[in-house]
Amino acid sequence: MKIGFIGLGNMGAPMAANLVKAGHDVTGFDMVAKPDGIPLATSAAAAAKDADIVITMLPNGAILRTVAAEIHAVMKAGVLHLDCSTVDVDSARDVAQSAENAKVLAMDAPVSGGIGGASAGTLTFMAGGTKAGFAMAKALFDIMGQKAVHCGPSGNGQAAKICNNMILGVTMIATCEAFNLADKLGLDRQAMFDVVSTSSGASWSMNAYCPAPNIGPKSPADNDYTPGFAAELMLKDLRLSQMAAEATDADTPMGAAATALYKTFVEDEGGLGRDFSAMLPRFSARSRKDS
């Protein structure tokens, strides 16, 4: 398949590399990055022009809208624009409308699994768009990921992503504050893990990504909280969840609290560039009067 790939950053470069490795004819474009092993075009439009599928993996909705306007103008009728960026639901739906106007199929398919999943080809895709678009993308999902769920019409992939990550942000904070309380109560961290990971407090944050160093499966906590999933990316996704909650009048008090905590952590407390599980040492360093 002839694939245009726009946005070759931390996620896009290894995803594109996996498509090249699988034998696809990939042409990439990035404003800054020039990764080895991926044939490059000189503009987004040039990468998109003759492609059967154009994938975008960009930082935010505003940039996606700009790139989409540029590529939809030159894409062939009936081909697919597969956007894997994490963006707000409104941008995803507007870009899908722009594609439809240009007789291009559109699918929003944000991912879970991070840089490790992008390199290993084990991402999970949450896809929004038509059945025809999903069918066209399926072979590529199978190369870049281990699972793809069709969540409904355009925007629903982004909806699934921000709901999932709102749960993740909230459960990580809950897990970290509970570890801190356990520490204060004199409860051994290994005992805390052994009980909670097999009890009703279990979650992915505890069981698979334990924020306490040297407890549970290997996680960024074991590597001095080097990301992994950086706190500022969690803040981005939480902000998207709160934008969506405002737009739909959904009551999300825990999501709002998690957003406020990660904002302070990233902007004022040294969380920038640290893994999002570094909330645990943050709690450990504080007392109740600090809240």
Binding site for ligand NAD (CB under 6 A): 6-12, 29-33, 44, 57-59, 63, 66-67, 85-86, 111, 114-115, 229, 233, 236
- 168 vs 279, beta carbon nearer ligand NAD: 168
Q: Minimum distance from CB of 93 to ligand NAD (Å)?
A: 16
Q: How far is CA 69 from each of CA 26, 100, 208, 270, rounded to the nearest angstrom?
A: 21, 12, 40, 37
In angstroms, the CA 154 to CA 173 distance is 31
Q: Minimum distance from CB of 219 to ligand NAD (Å)?
A: 14
Give the torsion sign (CA, 41, 47, 50, 55). Answer: positive
- 35 vs 201, beta carbon nearer ligand NAD: 35
Inter-residue long-range contacts of 214-217, CB under 8 Å, 24+ positions, other chains counted:
215/189, 215/190
Q: Minimum distance from CB of 286 to ligand NAD (Å)?
A: 27
- 60 vs 203, beta carbon nearer ligand NAD: 60
Q: Minimum distance from CB of 199 to ligand NAD (Å)?
A: 29
Instruction: Please measure the distance between the N-terminal and C-terminal CA atoms of the chain and give it in whole angstroms.
Output: 55
- Which ranges of 73-155 does DSSP label H, i.e. alpha helix? 89-101, 114-120, 131-144
- 59 vs 153, beta carbon nearer ligand NAD: 59
In angstroms, the CA 137 to CA 248 distance is 29
Strands (E), 118-277: 123-129, 145-152
In angstroms, the CA 141 to CA 122 distance is 9
Amino acid (1-letter code) at residue 44: A
Residue among 167, 171, 133, 174 at smallest CA distance from 150: 133
In angstroms, the CA 77 to CA 168 distance is 39
Is 161 known to be catalytic? yes
Q: Minimum distance from CB of 187 to ligand NAD (Å)?
A: 32
Catalytic residue among 21, 76, 131, 161: 161
- 192 vs 278, beta carbon nearer ligand NAD: 278
- 141 vs 229, beta carbon nearer ligand NAD: 229
Q: Minimum distance from CB of 31 to ligand NAD (Å)?
A: 4
* Most distant CA pair in the chain, distance: 65
Q: Name the residues annotated as catalytic.
A: 161
